[in-house]
Amino acid sequence: MTTLGMSEPARMVATEDPLWWRTAVIYQVYPRSFADADGDGVGDLRGIADRLESLAELGVDALWLCPFYTSPQTDGGYDVADYCDVDPVFGTLADFDDLLDRAHGLGLRVIIDIVPNHSSDQHAWFRAALAAAPGSPARDRYLFRDGTGSDGSAPPNNWQSTFGGQAWTQLPDGQWYFHMFDATQPDLNWRDPGVRSSFRQILRFWLHRGVDGFRVDVAHGMIKAEGMPDYHPQDLIGRFGVDPGVILTKEGPNPPYMLQDGVHDIWREWRAVLAEYGDDRVLCAEAWVEPLSHLARWVRPDEMHQAFNFSFLETPWDASSLRQVIDDSISAFGSVGAPSTWVLSNHDVVRHASRLGLVQQPAPGDGLGPRTASGLDPELGLRRAGAASLLMLALPGSAYLYQGEELGLPEVVDLPDDARRDPSWFRTGGVRYGRDGCRVPLPWEGTEPAFGFSRTGASWLPQPREWSALARDRQRGVAGSTLELYRSALALRREHGLGGGTVTWLPGYPPDVVALRNNGVTVLANTGSRAVERPGGRLLAGSGPGAPGVLAGDTTVWLLEE
Ligand code: GLC
């Protein structure tokens, strides 16, 4: 591992406002698929650095970089073999420093992904654990257990992997190790003080380099229930929403390998580490937890700053559900003094331009493919996506965008089976398509090889031919394009301070219309398919064409009283 303090800290973004994150629009970069400078078909840090100006022009405040650490890439880099170095496929630490410096020079903050729940099986810690004897301190960094049954040939308990199949793998010496995800991603033992102090050092390594914060992977899963008891979700299903003790995760209600109180001590420790570097560095939790009132525990004043609002992401395009989730979000986060966040897409879910064109939303991580996409209406999806994004960007709090949504990119549903890389595709024998369809490399210039993603035309996942028309250069400056919708919405959001206002619901609108006012801007989202009457006022932004006085179906507008 590289030692602390080798580099000079990077230039930081000059700001008077340490609370920048409360209102920020944060753009998620999935490095494999953003831009490829060296032409090998996999995106890299130099590719990102060279394209930063287009993000500044879009008007976002910050980037969140998905993992770029040394990794065998079995889970797109969420399998980290060295937390303090850059994988050669993405570049070098010097490339990272340059990217950070250039981003800061453009006024863009940079938060990076940290993956503490598990490492790669190629990490030196895990290799040492394999070489050491059962019961050794090296094994105690992970979750090794003896098997059950008379000869130990059955796994220690019945826990299943989030990616499908058993969550335990047996070694030749008979012991088993736990992995919530792929077998190449062994879970670390967060009850081990050595693991905890190593991660505090890892945080300092990146904070010293100048990062503005961390997005924390699986932030609800790091401590497992004492004794690792079997999981019987059927006893709890049906009690969610009735029994306040039942908390829902993506994996089911109250899994014993998640939601343990001990995780909160870790966040308090981390918060103190961040404070060593000033008061403007942030932690954002990936904690797929419902209800929102429970998720708020992750953002209490001495824990994390933000948590992704997956309840909002999972809400169908329906006015009453949207009003409810907006109210619940503002009140749940507000109850602990945190701003709400908003998000519609990321690298784990079906892109919202496709998701909102489906009758039934797929479960997170299932993806979309030829077998499951039959009911997809792409035009409807794109129209609703623009409307949903314009609604989201008018809400107070911080909004997360996923690369390519500003181009209206759809999920790619017809990837050839042999191109798929997501471990959940392999671990379920192709039952789940997984997440590759939202990770296809971005189109930049419509007539260039790989649409400008790489100069050689190489692309680790094939790009659909139709993406030529969605390339950034085809949309730039074109009125009515998704790119211009996002650009103008971000500029207006800043101008009218929408990230920092408050929501007032407006009465008197048809039930299908979400009608609110924030900082003097009237926001109307018509979730129905039929047009309704639109009140007077100057049209600031609209997600679709509309005649004066009319708000079309599946359309959002922002209006200013005259
Ligand atoms: C998180 C990441 C996902 C990854 C998983 C395991 O959910 O967002 O992409 O596969 O954790 O690290």
At 97, phi and psi to the nearest 5?
-60, -40
Kindly state whether residue 30 falls inside one of the protein's structural domains: yes
- Strands of 179-286 (E only): list them: 213-216, 248-249, 252-253, 282-285
Ligand 1, atom 4, lies closest to the CA of 78
531 and 556 belong to one structural domain: yes
The residue among 7 and 363 whose pLDDT is bigger is: 363
pLDDT at 467 over 80: yes
514 and 389 belong to one structural domain: no
> What's the mean per-residue pLDDT of the chain?
96
What spacing in Å lies between the alpha carbon of 480 and ligand 1's midpoint?
A: 34
127 and 113 belong to one structural domain: no
Mutate to test the pocket of ligand 1, among 78, 118, 258 (most ligand atoms within 8 A of CB): 78
261 and 129 belong to one structural domain: no
DSSP per-residue letters across 10-62: PP----S-TTGGGT-EEEEE-GGGT-BSSSSSS--HHHHHHTHHHHHHHT-SE
Structure token pair of residue 259: 């939601």
What spacing in Å lies between the alpha carbon of 524 and ligand 1's midpoint?
A: 34
What spacing in Å lies between the alpha carbon of 398 and ligand 1's midpoint?
A: 21
Q: Which residues are catalytic?
A: 217, 276
Segment 303-313 shows an average pLDDT of: 98
Structure token pair of residue 508: 């008197």
78 CA: nearest ligand 1 atom: 12
Mutate to test the pocket of ligand 1, among 161, 181, 222, 438 (most ligand atoms within 8 A of CB): 181
What spacing in Å lies between the alpha carbon of 101 and ligand 1's midpoint?
A: 27
In terms of Cα–Cα distance, which of 412, 409, 346 is closest to 382?
409
What spacing in Å lies between the alpha carbon of 390 and ligand 1's midpoint?
A: 27
Structure token pair of residue 385: 């996506």
89 and 205 belong to one structural domain: yes
pLDDT at 227 over 80: yes
Structure token pair of residue 239: 């009690």
Ligand 1, atom 9, lies closest to the CA of 348
pLDDT tens digits, one per residue of 358-406: 998 899 899 999 999 989 999 999 999 999 999 999 999 999 999 999 9
58 and 124 belong to one structural domain: no
205 and 163 belong to one structural domain: no
347 CA: nearest ligand 1 atom: 9
The one-letter code for the residue type at 311 is S
Ligand 1, atom 5, lies closest to the CA of 78
Query: Quick check: 408 and 385 in contact, CB under 8 A?
Result: yes
The residue among 543 and 244 whose pLDDT is bigger is: 543
pLDDT at 1 over 70: no
pTM, full prediction: 0.97
Q: Write down which residue in 161, 189, 217 finishes a domain.
A: 189
Q: Looking at residue 544, which CATH number applies to its domain?
A: 2.60.40
Residue 13 banded pLDDT, cuts 50, 70, 90: confident
What spacing in Å lies between the alpha carbon of 218 and ligand 1's midpoint?
A: 7
Q: Which residues contact 246 (CB under 8 A, 6 or more apart)?
A: 236, 239, 240, 253, 254
Kindly state whether residue 2 falls inside one of the protein's structural domains: no
Question: How confident is the model at residue 181, as a pLDDT?
Answer: 98
pLDDT at 3 over 70: no
Kindly state whether residue 385 falls inside one of the protein's structural domains: yes
pLDDT at 56 over 50: yes
Kindly state whether residue 333 falls inside one of the protein's structural domains: yes
What's the CA gap between 304 and 307, in Å, rounded? 8
Question: How confident is the model at residue 214, as a pLDDT?
Answer: 98
Ligand 1, atom 12, lies closest to the CA of 78
Please, what's the b/e burial string for 61-92 (b: 16 or more CB within 10 A of its CB; e: otherwise)? Answer: bbbbbbbbbbbebbbbbbbbbbbbbbbebbbe
Mutate to test the pocket of ligand 1, among 180, 250, 348, 350 (most ligand atoms within 8 A of CB): 348
Question: How confident is the model at residue 548, as a pLDDT?
Answer: 87
94 and 127 belong to one structural domain: no
Distances (CA, A) of 117 to 109, 186, 281, 497, 507: 25, 9, 21, 37, 46
What's the CA gap between 493 and 401, in Å, rounded? 14
Radius of gyration of the chain (CA): 23
To the nearest 10°, report the CA torsion of 83, 89, 90, 93.
60
Full residue range of the structural domain in which residue 529 is found: 503-560
- Residue whose structure tokens are 């404070």: 275
184 and 216 belong to one structural domain: no
In terms of Cα–Cα distance, which of 323, 513, 355, 507 is closest to 437?
355
pLDDT at 524 over 80: yes
Kindly state whether residue 497 falls inside one of the protein's structural domains: no
What's the CA gap between 489 and 523, in Å, rounded? 12
To the nearest 10°, report the CA torsion of 460, 465, 467, 471.
90
Ligand 1, atom 6, lies closest to the CA of 78
163 CA: nearest ligand 1 atom: 10
Mutate to test the pocket of ligand 1, among 75, 184, 220 (most ligand atoms within 8 A of CB): 75
pLDDT at 6 over 60: no
Segment 241-268 shows an average pLDDT of: 96
Structure token pair of residue 403: 């690369």
What spacing in Å lies between the alpha carbon of 319 and ligand 1's midpoint?
A: 30
181 CA: nearest ligand 1 atom: 6
Q: Write down which residue in 189, 205, 224 finishes a domain.
A: 189
Residue 4 banded pLDDT, cuts 50, 70, 90: very low
Ligand 1 site residues (CB inside 6 A) read: 75, 78, 115, 181, 217-218, 286, 347-348
Helix (H, G, I), strand (E, B) or coil at 252: strand
What's the CA gap between 162 and 164, in Å, rounded? 6
288 CA: nearest ligand 1 atom: 7
Query: Quick check: 451 and 43 in contact, CB under 8 A?
Result: no
181 and 222 belong to one structural domain: no
435 CA: nearest ligand 1 atom: 9
Query: Quick check: 188 and 116 in contact, CB under 8 A?
Result: yes
Q: Sign of torsion, CA 249 250 254 258?
A: negative
Question: How confident is the model at residue 142, as a pLDDT?
Answer: 98
Parallel, antiparallel, or unpaired for β 176-178 and 168-170?
Answer: antiparallel
What spacing in Å lies between the alpha carbon of 216 and ligand 1's midpoint?
A: 10
At 390, phi and psi to the nearest 5?
-70, -35
Structure token pair of residue 513: 């219309």
- pLDDT over 70 percentage in the chain: 98
- Residue 3 class from Cβ within 10 Å (0-12 exposed, 13-18 middle, 19+ buried)? exposed
Segment 499-518 shows an average pLDDT of: 98
Parallel, antiparallel, or unpaired for β 513-518 and 69-70?
Answer: unpaired
Kindly state whether residue 416 falls inside one of the protein's structural domains: yes
Kindly state whether residue 1 falls inside one of the protein's structural domains: no
Question: How confident is the model at residue 562, as a pLDDT?
Answer: 81
Q: How many C-beta atoms surround the C-beta of residue 275 within 10 A?
A: 11
346 CA: nearest ligand 1 atom: 8
What's the CA gap between 289 and 307, in Å, rounded? 10
111 and 126 belong to one structural domain: no
Residue 121 banded pLDDT, cuts 50, 70, 90: very high
Ligand 1, atom 2, lies closest to the CA of 217
Kindly state whether residue 496 falls inside one of the protein's structural domains: no
pLDDT tens digits, one per residue of 182-210: 999 999 999 999 999 999 999 999 999 99
Q: Looking at residue 161, which CATH number applies to its domain?
A: 3.90.400.10
Report the domain count for the chain: 3
pLDDT at 2 over 60: no
What's the CA gap between 79 and 67, in Å, rounded? 9
Structure token pair of residue 121: 């099986």
Question: How confident is the model at residue 265, as a pLDDT?
Answer: 98
In terms of Cα–Cα distance, which of 4, 57, 120, 24 is closest to 400?
24
Question: How confident is the model at residue 361, as a pLDDT?
Answer: 87
Q: Looking at residue 201, which CATH number applies to its domain?
A: 3.20.20.80
177 and 199 belong to one structural domain: no
What spacing in Å lies between the alpha carbon of 66 and ligand 1's midpoint?
A: 10
